[in-house]
Amino acid sequence: MSRDDNKSRRAPEIEITPDLTHPKVFVQAARKYGESKVAMREKEYGLWRPITWAQYLRHVKEIALGLADLGLERGDKVVLIGDNRPEGLWAEMAALCAGAAAVWVYQDSLIDEVQFIVDHSDAKFFIGEGQEEVDKGLALRDKCPKLKKIIWDDPKGMRRYHDPMLLSLDKLTERGREIDQREPHRFDEMVRMGSGDDVALLFYTSGTTSAPKGALLTHWNMLKMGQNLLRVDPPYESDDFVSFLPFAWIGEQMMSISCGIQAGFTLNFPEEPEIAMDDLREIGPQMMFSSARLYEQLVRNLQVKYADATWMKRKIYEWGLQVGYEIADAKFDKKPVSSWLQFQAAIANGIVHRALRDHLGLSRMRNAYTGGSAIGPDHFRFFHAIGVNIKQIYGQTEIAGISVVHRTDDVKMDTVGKPIPETEVKIAEDGEILSRSPAVFKGYYKNDDATAKTLKGGWLHSGDNGFIDENGHLVFFDRSKDIMVLNDQRKFSPMFAEARLKFSPYIKDAWVIGHEKPFVVAVICIDYTVTGRWAESKGIAYTSYMELSQDPRVLELVQKSVEQVNKGQPESARVRRFVNLFKEFDADDDELTRTKKLRRGFLEERYKIILGGLYGGANVIHIDTEINYEDGRVARIKTDLKVLDVGGK
């Protein structure tokens, strides 16, 4: 029986009361579905392993009781780090059931980053996936005096680890199981003690300009946000959701936890992060939430397939895409579609669009959300052209992830939609976007000054700039501090230009500079895989990213992409000079946040020699710098970067 047939039921809305918590909603759902419904699946050795709601509850209960027996108390903090996996979710929910707050850390974080969060959060327990995470925990414990125990669940590589601070998740669950047998009512009593005003998550922000701040989000915040998103797009209990983005990102928490336990849909965990897109295709979820970067990568993958296809297939693809663009544009403009165009669209869907959606794993997609940063208009239009109902989400950690979203029947390419229910949005005199809703956080942990500034006047101050159009849609312009003033005094968003550049399959990242400068320049990071395949098809030999990026034919290829973007830009906003960087931007080098946003201030300081060369008329820029690796290694780079002029004054 298809999971999309008429027997599928809409998930009933839950009444969110002040005393309701995630554990209470979770326990209610687990006892409702029991063994009759799959709560989650994990792919292991190529096979999907189902876990029922009853099993989910049992694991959470045993871990929660084990943690409580170890000394976890209400209000304590538990740090978690690792891939998306059932055990990570069980541990998080268990911590919440015991009255603690969960603190997720990005798995690829360097030791200093992990240490800052563990120490600043006053975490008592550190729960990691395996050897790599345990090593980080052991390395920082002497500098984090409140840390009492390091818990791990993957035994691979752990045979020779006998430190008394370590405890396996299996041993912890055994301990909890014994307690449950002796005190069968203790777990329910712990859950009943919770209140909606209790802190559920201590979420550390990206820290693009300073040290991360810990945002305190309550059960009430997260549950109300989840409820109001589900009011916009009600799910079915039979729906599937693939969990592949880090739990340390608010968007993943929003969908997997706050929406998941209210809607009762099934979570699916890929075998490894590297093959998540293959597993996405196997599941064919009805909903998806991801960053703009993933959607950009999906488009690049299709563009590579297109380049490798035969002449006939390329022509069919181009025709189908053109028909799709006409349909999408009519949808955006709310214009009627002629019978002839509808007829062409039906054929295009049958021979082009359906195959593309299936290739991407989006064949059953009802609602695909993108957030974290604005997706470029070219990417947005592309997905609608092939029949994927992609919607822009706007929000931030401090409002539990979301305040604004597109509606299916009211999508505008240059906006992020309208506020979700119970949310107010207004624009301050200086253009800053302000929000107010039940999902607004309590404040920053140990930072009263920042809290007062962010919640000034009873409104959440986003630090973003935008306006509300005549149809009530929010137009997000850019971070206020990132807006450029060009040489003709025009205000311009570098993020917009960067997104347009990244529509080229050969460009993975772009950094556009031009604030109060005589002209606009760019630093480009090529997509090594895509550009490498192109180079091989042309018989171009190379041995490294650095060598490939500086090849004259690759520079010419990128130049054509820059020129194409320039055609749609105002004269003063056109990129006049650019370089291909010798490496990709990397969070380990502090060039990106862990959510893959550019740290512009740091980039300006680190690459001031490059900027000096771009604005100083140099044809070649000499580089001598260091790059850092996650394991702590440092490499020195010496190279020359070629500067290309794109024309203009």
For 477-505, the pLDDT digits (tens) are 888 888 999 999 999 999 989 999 999 99
Give the pLDDT mean for 545-550. 95
pLDDT of residue 273 exceeding 90:
no
Paired tokens of 86: 């059932």
Give the pLDDT mean for 498-515. 94
pLDDT in tens, 4-48: 444 567 878 899 999 999 999 999 999 999 999 999 999 998 899
Paired tokens of 391: 């919607």
Residues 6+ apart with CB under 8 A from 617: none
Q: What separation in angstroms does the CA of 589 have from each of 230, 242, 445, 550, 583?
A: 38, 30, 26, 21, 11
241-262 as b/e: b if 16+ CB within 10 A: bbbbbbbbbbbbbbbbbbbbbb
Own/partner long-range contacts of 274-283 (Cβ < 8 Å, ≥24 apart): 276/242, 276/244, 277/360, 277/361, 279/43, 279/242, 279/244, 280/242, 280/244, 280/360, 280/361, 281/358, 281/359, 281/360, 281/361, 282/48, 282/361, 283/240, 283/242, 283/361
Q: How far apart are CA 125 and CA 77, in angstroms?
A: 7
Q: How far apart are CA 100 and CA 116, in angstroms?
A: 19
**CA of residue 194 relative to chain centroid, distance:** 29
pLDDT of residue 3 exceeding 50:
no
Paired tokens of 539: 């018989």
Paired tokens of 605: 């300081």
Taking the alpha carbons of 197, 200, 201, 202 in that order, is the dihedral positive or negative? positive
pLDDT of residue 1 exceeding 60:
no
Closest by Cα among 445, 451, 485, 481 to 463: 481
**Mean pLDDT for the chain overall:** 92
Query: If DSSP codes are grouped into helix, strand and coil, which group holds residue 584?
Result: coil
pLDDT in tens, 117-158: 999 999 999 999 999 999 999 999 999 999 999 999 999 999
Kindly write down the DSSP assignment for every residue of 281-319, as one continuous string: HHH--SEEEEEHHHHHHHHHHHHHHHHHS-HHHHHHHHH
Kindly write down the DSSP assignment for every residue of 412-434, as one continuous string: -TTS--EEPTT-EEEE-TTSEEE
The full length of the chain comes to 649
pLDDT in tens, 249-271: 999 999 999 999 999 999 999 98
Q: How far apart are CA 419 and CA 433, in angstroms?
A: 12
pTM of the model: 0.89
Say what percent of the chain tops pLDDT 90: 82
pLDDT of residue 629 exceeding 70:
no
97-106, 408-417, 436-445: range with lowest mean pLDDT: 408-417
Closest by Cα among 523, 527, 493, 499 to 511: 523
Closest by Cα among 191, 135, 193, 204 to 163: 135
pLDDT at residue 2 in the model? 41
User: Residue 231: phi, psi to the nearest 5?
Assistant: -70, -35
**CA of residue 524 relative to chain centroid, distance:** 22
Give the pLDDT mean for 338-355. 96
Q: What separation in angstroms does the CA of 222 have from each of 22, 27, 40, 424?
A: 9, 17, 21, 17
Q: How confident is the model at residue 190 (pLDDT cuts 50, 70, 90)?
A: very high
Residues 6+ apart with CB under 8 A from 263: 11, 230, 235, 237, 239
Kindly write down the DSSP assignment for every residue of 201-225, as one continuous string: EEEE---SSSS--EEEEEHHHHHHH
pLDDT at residue 427 in the model? 96
**CA of residue 573 relative to chain centroid, distance:** 28
Strand pairing class (507-513; 491-492): unpaired
**391 secondary structure, DSSP code:** E
Closest by Cα among 74, 67, 65 to 149: 67
Residues 6+ apart with CB under 8 A from 486: 492, 514, 520, 570, 572, 573
User: Residue 47: phi, psi to the nearest 5?
Assistant: -120, 145
Residues 6+ apart with CB under 8 A from 470: none
Kind plus residue range of the DSSP H or E element containing 370: strand 367-371
Q: How far apart are CA 178 and CA 510, in angstroms?
A: 55
- Which range scores top for mean pLDDT: 206-210, 287-291, 382-386? 382-386
pLDDT in tens, 588-613: 888 988 888 899 999 999 999 999 99
Query: If DSSP codes are grouped into helix, strand and coil, which group holds residue 43?
Result: strand
pLDDT in tens, 176-187: 999 999 999 999
Residues 6+ apart with CB under 8 A from 163: 138, 150
609, burial (CB in 10 Å: exposed 0-12, middle 13-18, buried 19+) = middle
pLDDT of residue 547 exceeding 80:
yes
Say what percent of the chain tops pLDDT 70: 97
The torsion region of residue 596 among left (phi > 0), alpha (psi -120 to 50) and beta comes to left
pLDDT at residue 5 in the model? 43
pLDDT at residue 632 in the model? 62
Domains and CATH numbers, the chain: 22-194+236-274 (3.40.50.980), 290-439+450-480 (2.30.38.10), 483-645 (3.30.300.30)
Side-chain-facing half-sphere of 339: CA atoms under 13 Å: 0
